[in-house]
Chains A and B, each alone.
Chain A
Amino acid sequence: MRELAGKLSALDPEATETLKVIAYFDTLVDGRVSIDGILRGAAVLSGTAVGYQPGERQTTRRYSSDGEALDPKDPGSWPSLSFGAGSTVWLEREGSHHANDAMILERLAIAVSVSTQRFDQHAPARRAVEILVTAGTSADEREEALLRLPFPARSSFRAIAVPVSATGGVLPHAPDAVVVTRFGMARAILASEAPGPGGAQRLSSAPPLSDEYRERVGRAGIGTLARTAGDIPDSWSSALTALRLAGNTSKPVYADELGALLHLAELTHTEANPHPDVIAVGRALASTWWTELLLQAVAQGSSRRGLATLAGVHHSTMEARLSKLPELLGFDPSRPLGQTRLGVALMLHRLTHAQLDSQG
C-alpha cells in the first residue's frame, strides 16, 4: 500500500493535539531513538525545520520538515526553549504559529534532555547521589543507589557541599551531583570514610582531610559522619549549613566542629522571620562603622585597641562607636552573655543571607 498515507506531515495547524504530541515523543524516547532521530521526528511532526544547540556557541543541528539534515545555523529569533546547561531547541516556523508549536517545543526539549542524559555515563552516579542526599527515600531506593557508587562495603559516608561552580579536582573520584536545595543550587559530593589504621578516620575514595585537602577543597561545607546510607540526608543537611556558614572564606567549614551551633542553625531553617538579634546585626552591618569581621572580633572579646587597629581608626573613635553598639543591637556585647548573643546572631545572619554559589 505504498503512498497510501503520503507524508506524515503537520498535525492540524488549528487544533491542539496535546496527547498525540506527548505520545509521539514518548515513543521516540522509550524506543531510545537517537537525538538526530528525535529532531527529525519533531521536524516532520511540526511540518517545519527544527534546530538544536547542545550548549552555548556549540555546533547546531538542524533538520527540515521532510527530515533532511540542514546546515548549522544559530537559533536567532525563532521560537525556542532552553533547558539543562545551556541547551536550546527551536522551531523555524514561518508565518503564524500553529496550535501545537509550544507543546512540540516542550516535548522536544524533554526528549532531547532525557536522551542526552542517557548517553552521559555519569548520569547513573549523579542520580544515585541525588537519591542518597534526599530525605524520605526508601531503604530499597538507597540500597540500589549505593550499588551504583564505587564505595567499599561497610563504609561510612560524608556529604560535602560545594558551590555549583566548583567542578572537578575537589575530590576527583567521588561521585557528585548538582542538587536543588531550598537555599538554591549546590553541588553535593559523596565521600566514603572507613576507619583507617589506629582508628583514624579517612576518606577512602579521596585524600584524607588533611591541610592539603583543606586548601584544595576551598569553600565547602563538610557534613557530619553518616554511618549508614540512611544518615546521608542528615550529613548533607549539615554540609549545606556549613557551606552557608563558610561565608566568603576560601576554607571548608566542618559541620562536626559546629557542635550545638549546628543544631541551632538547622532549627532556624524552619523559621519564616529572622530573630530581632539577627535584624539588629543586619542594621549594624548596614552602617558604615561595622563590618562582619569587626563584629566577630567584638563577639570574641577583642580589646578596644585591637578593634581600632582592625578598623583602622583611632581608639577614641572606636570607643565612641562601641558606646553606641548596645543601643544599635538592643543588647550589650561587652558582657559575656552579650558576646554569645552577638556571635550567634552573626552566625544566623550569615545563614539568612548566604548565597551558596557566590563568594560573599
Chain B
Amino acid sequence: MTKNSKLSLFDELGLSESLDYALSTCARCGFCKPVCPTHPFGGGFEAFSPRSKIYHLKKIKDGKGELTNDWVERLYQCTTCERCVEVCQTDIPLVQIWEAARAESVKMGSGPMPAHKKFGKFVEEFDNPYGEPKAERDRWLLPDIKPSEKAEILLFGGCTCSYKMPPMLQTGAKILTRVGIPFCYAGGKEVCCSSPILRTGQIESAKRLIGSNVDLFNEMGVKKIVTPCSGCSKTLRHDYPVWAKHLGKKWDIKVVHFSEIYVDLLRQKKLKPVRELKRKVTYHDPCHLGRAQNIYDEPREILNSIPGIELIEMDFKRKDSKCCGAGGGVKANYPDMATEISNSRVKEAEETGADTLVTMCPFCQTSFTQSLKALNSPLQFAGVEELLLESLE
C-alpha cells in the first residue's frame, strides 16, 4: 500500500466506509496495549502496540503514511487472539483490519512472511498447509467409523486434525456413531478451510479454497457442519458467509464446534459420563473458540459433567483468557515468540495447582504439549473431548 491508497480488501467487501469510520473512532486510550501478547516482543516501544498500528493505518488511509516493510512485519507479529478487540472502547474490528492490511502487503509483494509463503505454496499444491498428500486426508478414519453417503450433518476434518491430530476427530466421529447421529464426510474432496491462508493475507488462495469447499458442501446438500478445530469453526462460521456471498455462491449452512454437539448430547442424556476420572484440571479458552465464537460455557459444562473432575480456573479466563501464542501465523514465522507466550500460559496453569491442562483446540494443544515438555512441567495435557470419551460407559 502506498500513499493515498486504501485497504482494498475492505473495498472488495464493501466495508471501506465502515473501516474509515472505525479507524476514526480510536480513542487512543491504550487499553489494547497491556493485553497484547506480542507487544512486549517489540522491546517495549509503543509502535508495536495495537493502538499504534491503528494510528499508522489511519495515516495511510489519510494519505499521510506508507505501509513499509517494517510496518508489515509488525502487522504479522500478531496472534489474532482478539484480546485487543475485547477491550476496545469503540469496538474497532482490529483483527479484521490487521488481516486486511496483511492482504494489502501480499498484493504489494512485501507479505506474507517466509513461513507463510511456504504453507501458501503447499496449499496450492496439496490443498493443505502441511504438504501432506491429498489422497491421505481421510487416513484418520478408523475402520469402525462409517460416515454416511448422504446426511444433513457434515464432519469437516480440517487439515490439522486430519493429518496431525487424528484423536480429536476420531473422538468426535466415535461419539456421533455411538449416539446414532448420521454424518457424512467429504474425504479427499475436502480442502483446507483457508484459515491459515486468510489470516496471513493470501486472499486469492483463500478464495479458491473457500469456493471449492462451498461448492462441495452445496453439492452434498449439507445443512450443518461440525468440526473439532476451533480455527476451522471460526473460519467456517464467520468468514464463509461473507466470502460465499462475495463469490456469488449460496450459503445456508449452520456451523458448530464439537463442544456444542457434546453439550447438546449431554443435556439430552444421550451421553452419560459415568467413569470417574480423578483429575484436577484447568481449562484454557482457545482464542478462536472463546473470543471469536463466544464458546466459553460448553467446554466447562462438559468437564463438569465428568465424575471426579475438579475444574480449577486460571486467573485469566473466558474473555480475558491469555493466548497460547500459536495463532495468526505467529508460531510458523516467529516460533520463539510463540514459545515464550505459550510457556507463560503454562506457568499460569501450573499456579492453579491443577494436575492437567485441558483445552479444545489443536493449535493450543501443540503449543502446550511442546511447552510442558520444554519446561519439564508437572502438568499433564488432555483434550476435553478425550476426557469425555474416557468417562463414557
Pair from one complex: no
